[in-house]
A and B are shown apart, each in its own frame.
Chain A
Amino acid sequence: MTKHKMVVVGAGPAGLAAALEASKNGIDDIIILERDKYLGGILPQCIHNGFGLEYFGEELTGPEYADRFMRDIDQAGIEVLTETMVLNINQDKLITALNKTKGVLKIKAETIILAMGCRERTRENIQIPGDRPAGILSAGTAQRYTNIEGFIPGKEVMILGSGDIGLIMARRMKLEGADVKAVLEIMPFSSGLVRNKVQCLDDFDIPLKLQHTITRIEGKKRLKRVEISKVDKDFNPIKGTQKWINCDTLLLSVGLIPENELSKAMNLKLHPATGGVYVNENRETELKGVYACGNVLHVHDLVDWVSEEAEIAGRSAAEYLNKNQEKRDLPIKITPNKNLTYTVPQKIEYKFKDKKFIKIYLRVEKPMENVKIVFSHNEKSMLSYDKKIVMPGEMVTVNLPVALIKKNMEEIKLSIVEKVGEKNGRT
């Protein structure tokens, strides 16, 4: 058994940023465990641009974004074990991992950063009935084949799901010479960025069919065709709207699920809306000294926010190791109220020290325009921010100034409310 002050599980953007930040804060005994043979997680296969505008102030591709962190990790001398799969973690922070060169590794950690990322929902998760041929794969798997492994998974492609991965892969397959027949979206709006809709679909005349889904799959060996149907407002297929479309490939971009098998092994409870564990403002889980950040905590739409969140976790873990933390007398619950599906964190537990803001990430239920994001305590508004537009596909981040947080507060609620004839600006 070996011992480390900090073990980071996963060398994707979250794990790398957390490790770096801890290192910057004086932690010198960090080890990162990564199951793949290269660092960066999903970024190296996200070869498109659009990363880094928030974090670096310039536009980068996925591999470039990852490279910046990889270089810093290298320079900081942080130890990384690749092709090392963490198989179990117990509540005493004892980690079991496996790799080729060392075999079974037992590592006792003082702090753990959970940064395992997420996985894609499958055909089985959304239960599309029909045959079970080759040619049905998740958009991310297709992306790996196309951008890393050097193979094209299909010639006539249908895509289900208009999230950013679905849109990006529509363009990618098209540029590689495939015939992309359509992108289907069960919702009445695309959940991807407007820019991706324009540059990935409109630029190439790829149709986006809103309120459509796939109701049957046909093909005994390789996919031959799919049946698409219009859906009603409850997402049920409308009879009589079925249409068969010939294709040899179906890419699924139907959502991401945080990969929390290790969190569950530690008996950490999962939040029904985020699919991640519960955390306080330090991104610390219910187990002291164990932190979670990135897509394992909640699915982010921008990697920039992942890096930012991971830094909170890394910095807090360093404070924990440096014994530089003090709990509040009362924890404060952060509760999503009107029109919100969740907030991260779900509570505030520590004294603020030199912190000026608590950064809160939230996700809205539905697209809304001209709204206010309202913080309230005991039904009284503490603070509100104006926002021209909010979308479920885009995470919203807001700052809660610590100056507004009073000693005796037990719960702060967050809501999105429509503005009625008010002037713009902070109130």
Chain B
Amino acid sequence: MEEHDIICTGCPKGCQVTIKTEGDKITDIYGYECPTGKEYAINEFKNPTRILPTTVKVEDGEFPLVPVKTAAPIPKSDLIKAMNFIAEKTVKAPIEIGDILIENILNTGVDVVATRNIKKESEV
């Protein structure tokens, strides 16, 4: 039997929820104070995911970087790998908000999209 402590991020209270497991099976869950807390803890235990906000290098842009995010959450365990992948990437201005800059990053099925318009340097 294993115990996993998860802090719920649903509200400022930050309840510590404990999940007891045997193999893949959850045998007990306690510490939550609302249904959101329970649901959050189970998801966070089974498949913790995060939106990754970062930047991508830009060529010929009014700024040297474009801010980006993963269009949907990706597995938490992929965050650093995704950064390594993004670090190699350079995109050309102009860029529009919502442009897909990297498709299906790390085969997660999730795209990396621009979150700001970047004009060409020569057009500023």
A residues at B contact (CB < 8 Å): 44, 47-49, 59, 61-64, 67, 146-150, 172, 175-177, 193-195, 197-199, 202-203, 369, 388-391, 393-394
Q: Does the CB pair B9–A198 fall under 8 Å?
A: yes
Q: Do residues A67 and B97 form an inter-chain contact, with CB atoms below 8 A?
A: yes
Residues of B whose CB lies within 8 Å of any CB of A are 7-9, 11-14, 50-55, 57, 63-65, 67-69, 76, 79-80, 83, 87, 97, 115-117
A47 contact from B11, B64, B80, B115, Cβ within 8 A: B115
Give Cα distance in the complex from A147 to B69, angstroms.
13
User: Across the interface, do B7 and A202 meet the contact criterion of CB distance under 8 Å?
Assistant: yes
CB proximity of B73 to chain A, nearest CB, Å: 10
Q: Complex formed: what's the CA distance from A302 to B69 in Å?
A: 20
Assuming A61-B53, A63-B115, A63-B116, is B69 touching A49 (CB within 8 A)?
A: yes
Supply 14 further A-B pairs (C-beta < 8 A) apart from A47-B67, A177-B87, A389-B11. A44-B67, A63-B97, A67-B97, A67-B116, A146-B55, A147-B65, A148-B63, A172-B54, A177-B83, A193-B9, A194-B8, A194-B13, A389-B12, A394-B12
Q: What residues of A have a CB within 8 angstroms of the CB of B76 in the complex?
A: 203
Partner of A150, one of B12, B50, B52, B64: B64
Count the A-B residue pairs with Cβ separation under 8 angstroms: how many? 80
CB–CB A61/B11 < 8 A: no
Nearest first, the 8 A-B pairs at minimum CB distance are A150-B64, A194-B14, A195-B9, A47-B67, A63-B116, A61-B115, A48-B53, A389-B13
Cα A164 to Cα B75 with chains together (Å) = 23
Smallest CB-CB separation from A172: which chain B residue? B54
Chain A CB within 10 Å, residue with most, of B8, B64, B83, B116:
B116
> In whole angstroms, what is the CA distance A197 to B9 when docked?
9
Contact status A175-B83, CB under 8 Å: yes
A-B contact pairs, 16 of them (CB 8 A): A47-B54, A47-B55, A47-B69, A63-B115, A64-B97, A67-B116, A67-B117, A175-B79, A175-B80, A176-B83, A177-B87, A193-B12, A194-B11, A195-B9, A203-B50, A203-B79
Say how far B37's CB is from chain A's closest CB, in angstroms: 11
